Amino acid sequence: MTTKLTHLDETGAAHMVDVGGKAETERVATAQGSVKMLPETLALIRSGNAAKGDVIGTARIAGIMAAKKTHDLIPLCHPLLLNKISVDIEADETLPGLHVAATVTLTGKTGVEMEALTAVSVACLTIYDMAKAADKGMIIQDIRLVRKTGGKSGDWSADSVYGG
């Protein structure tokens, strides 16, 4: 683990990291999160009868679009030519709610952790937006990176650090 923040220079000023000299490698990052809601709200979403339409399909597209726009949303992120973005949303009756997972891949000089995290965050926000008429108390929770591969720092998994 590094003890230096890469986006700060020696004076503490924020700057964009120079990745020009880095080698291109295949990089993959997966993030996850969830939206906890009333059981009735989950049933409404699953039935396809939400007032705003297909909540899960729209949230999936929103997550994909968000990953592509991460550099516009997060300061100092590089614009990236992403190879693939997948956003999976699954219902969980025991939560109750929806689990969201996003995986982003590219061959490049910098990682895609922020793109995966942004995809999950925006997908969860879209679920909230589309179902808030039925349930304003929904909870967006547990958004985190779960694994990443590639690059100078190598592979990393939340399981190896936090136990899952």
Closest to 126 measured CA to CA, from 44, 50, 55: 55
**Residue 129 among the catalytic residues:** yes
Cβ distance 117 to 85 under 8 Å? Answer: no
Instruction: Say which of 129, 135, 142, 159 is annotated catalytic.
Output: 129
Closest to 31 measured CA to CA, from 108, 122, 128, 93: 122
d(CA 137, CA 135): 5
User: Residues with catalytic annotation?
Assistant: 129
